[in-house]
Structure 1
Amino acid sequence: MFCRSVSWFICIFVAVLTAADYSDSHPSTESPTAGQVQEGKEAAAVDLGTLLDAGDSAVVTLVAGDTRLAAHRAVLAVRSPVFASIFSHGTLEATVPDVGGQLLRHLVAYMYTLQATQLARMAPQLLVAAHKYGLSGLKAQCEQQLASQLSIETAVTTAVLAIRNSCSTLEKTAATFIKTHILHVMATKGWADALHCQPEDLIEVLKLLSQPPAETSTPATGDSEVTPTSQLHMGHKKCSRAPVPAAKHTATCPTPTFDDVSVSFLRTLSAAEKGRRLIKAANDGTVKELQMLLAAGADVGATDGNKNTALHWAAWEGHVETASCLVGAGAEVDAGNWVQNTPLHWAAWGGRPAVVRLLVAASADPNARNVDGDTPLHFAAEHGRTEEATALLDAGADSGARNHKGKTPVDRARQFNHQHWIDRITRD
């Protein structure tokens, strides 16, 4: 038994020394940039004497599902502050959550050799694990590998991965790539999947894109089918000042094929015509036409006769993908129309919870006030929109805000007999 233990110790001794020598004399062709090396530098050597500390407790067990791996506590501790903390109190076995057996083997191998043998194939998984367990050198290598693999198809998922795992360098690289290929990226399955399954992550990507360089429409629900335009004629005795969009465009506008010829044609249009078409595309939810108009130089802040922007119309109609495109193109989320209603006012009023969530995630002000002092939450209360109200409250909406008549959102809900709204909001 003693001879076997000595043989194991000698093998580990030689392996660690070999890894240290290799790291010093053979810089990897996939090495991180100088800045990344400085940030992600790991110790190349382990105090081999500590491999024998405390006798049998020198070796601990890592468990991932059915996989059990024995490793030296000293090696794990010097590589990972997380493992150092786990095994600092005499623990001899630890479960490694959210890591499969194969990935665990690669992590342990890296901690012994500082070599990531499956980096090209497993960079995303290794990055997540490296971030979670504090393997800064491996994380830096994964960032560089993913940056080198960026493509139209992988750009969005890579950006989301970078955001979730605090990879600032990879975030910037992915954002620059997406900006350069924005229309092609937005046409990929990755963009569509993020839009419908990970809207919060996509909003973070859109925020990256907005930084300066170095669902389909659903019918409105609730008690009223009143439109912003029709409510204008109802006066203010029983309702807040209504959004008053210009009448919807009735002229047909053929959707051109998404190609360079079409974009070139759109560039020949006047700024006013491009703005008109952009608002119509937002109103209709025709994403490709909207993308082409933006590519042709249409002003994302163009307004109609009542100072409503394209984002106002996308919010009113509940066109989530269209609203997302506009936000990504730099649309002002808090733009006020002629009565200072914002897109968030419209989404809350019209019963568009997905758009409400998208706008507040893009930093729209949940307490914006129109000329009557009404907030989006007042509109949600007036029309009995509970899901929209919940999203607004989660974003910091003030439930006690009073408009110019001294009415709170609860007062407004009570005025319009929406007891279910009051019950839901007060319960939450």
Structure 2
Amino acid sequence: LVEASAYLRDDRLDIECVVTVMKEPRVSQTKSSPKVAVPPSDIAAHLGKLLESKEAADVTFYVGEDTFAAHKVVLAMRSPVFKAELFGPMREAGAQVLPIKDIQPDVFKALLHFIYTDSLSIIDDLVGDDRGEMIRHLLVAADRYAMERLKLICESDLCENLNVQTVAATLALADQHHCASLRDACIEFMSSSSMDDIVATQGFVDLKTNCPSVLVDAFVNMSMLNKR
């Protein structure tokens, strides 16, 4: 049988095989595309400079004894109330000077700064009670001009900085301007604090006199929280 094999000739064993040689791929080094550094948006900085320079301002506000120049289109873009006052059917034709009542000049200045820059960096130097007072005034202004983002920023800031001396006044503010989260935060703070200290504040006296229903509602909610 072996002798009849086609692979055995002259006492030699022939083995036939197929060999495939795999060559390593040649990878050519390509130059990486140059990276372009894109700077952050600077539109707020430019708008802030526009406010400061008063260039092309087309409206002036009288606030107390101070005046503030601004640009109608920027105000209208940021506040539907300003839009209605400056461009709506009830606007005073040709009015370039408008009085602003019931807002302090420094509060209106901070409001304009936020309208142009979307930040409250102008009040960064304020601390403690001074900052809290400014934030409360800004919340009122934000509600007046229907600036929801500013209102929420102020609400958040007040929630994070509640104290015994101001919580009652802040609760009244939250109720008057429909700040549900701030109202709940005040009630929760009062439920975990010394009521004797809170009752001794002028804010509590004002709350009891001017907003008795709010105080009753607060006590009901505090009672429910303490039962949990």
**TM score, norm. by length of structure 2:** 0.63
Determine the C-alpha separation between the residues in 2 that align with 1:146 and 1:19: 28
Q: How does 1:41-120 map to 2 (within 5 A)?
A: 59-88=58-87, 89=91, 90=93, 91-117=95-121, 118=123
Shift of 1:190: 3.1
Specify the structure having the higher radius of gyration (Cα): 2
Deviations 1:59-115 (A, max 9, x none): 111111111111010110011111111101443222111112211111111110011
CA 171–19 in structure 1, closer or farther in 2 if over 3 Å, else same: farther
Determine the C-alpha separation between the residues in 2 that align with 1:81 and 1:133: 7
Determine the C-alpha separation between the residues in 2 that align with 1:168 and 1:18: 34
Paired position in structure 2 for 1:181 = 193
Determine the C-alpha separation between the residues in 2 that align with 1:192 and 1:143: 20
Paired position in structure 2 for 1:283 = none
Paired position in structure 2 for 1:128 = 140
Determine the C-alpha separation between the residues in 2 that align with 1:182 and 1:81: 42
Shift of 1:173: 0.6
Q: Larger relative contact order (C-alpha < 8 A, sep ≥ 6)?
A: 2
Shift of 1:213: 5.6
Shift of 1:191: 5.2
Structure 1 unmatched runs, 5+ = 1-16, 23-44, 49-55, 215-294, 298-428
Determine the C-alpha separation between the residues in 2 that align with 1:206 and 1:128: 24
Determine the C-alpha separation between the residues in 2 that align with 1:151 and 1:160: 14
Match of 2:42 among 5, 10, 18: 18
Match of 2:202 among 183, 190, 193: 190
Determine the C-alpha separation between the residues in 2 that align with 1:71 and 1:20: 15
Structure richer in strand, relative to its length: 2
Identity rate of aligned residues, in percent?
26
Paired position in structure 2 for 1:206 = 216
Aligned length: 166
Q: What's the RMSD between the two structures over aligned residues?
A: 3.0
Shift of 1:182: 5.1
Determine the C-alpha separation between the residues in 2 that align with 1:115 and 1:168: 23
Deviations 1:161-198 (A, max 9, x none): 11111111101111111122252444422355326xx5
Paired position in structure 1 for 2:170 = 158
Determine the C-alpha separation between the residues in 1 that align with 2:86 and 2:147: 16
User: Quick check: 1:63–1:96 contact (8 Å CA) kept in 2?
Assistant: yes
User: Quick check: 2:198–2:204 contact (8 Å CA) kept in 1?
Assistant: yes
Q: Which amino acid aligns with 2:62?
A: V
Shift of 1:21: 8.6
Structure 2 unmatched runs, 5+ = 1-40, 51-55
Shift of 1:205: 2.9
Classify the secondary structure of the residue corresponding to 1:61: strand
Shift of 1:156: 0.4
Classify the secondary structure of the residue corresponding to 2:61: strand
Determine the C-alpha separation between the residues in 2 that align with 1:191 and 1:73: 38
Paired position in structure 1 for 2:21 = none
Q: How does 1:234-383 map to 2 (within 5 A)?
A: none
Determine the C-alpha separation between the residues in 1 that align with 2:203 and 2:117: 37
CA 86–192 in structure 1, closer or farther in 2 if over 3 Å, else same: closer
Deviations 1:206-227 (A, max 9, x none): 313314869xxxxxxxxxxxxx
User: Quick check: 2:169–2:204 contact (8 Å CA) kept in 1?
Assistant: no
Match of 1:141 among 137, 153, 157: 153
Classify the secondary structure of the residue corresponding to 2:69: strand
User: Quick check: 1:86–1:94 contact (8 Å CA) kept in 2?
Assistant: no
Paired position in structure 2 for 1:267 = none
User: Quick check: 1:123–1:145 contact (8 Å CA) kept in 2?
Assistant: yes
Determine the C-alpha separation between the residues in 2 that align with 1:132 and 1:151: 26
Determine the C-alpha separation between the residues in 1 that align with 2:139 and 2:43: 21
Determine the C-alpha separation between the residues in 2 that align with 1:60 and 1:213: 52
Paired position in structure 2 for 1:361 = none
CA 20–67 in structure 1, closer or farther in 2 if over 3 Å, else same: closer
Classify the secondary structure of the residue corresponding to 2:210: helix
Classify the secondary structure of the residue corresponding to 1:69: strand
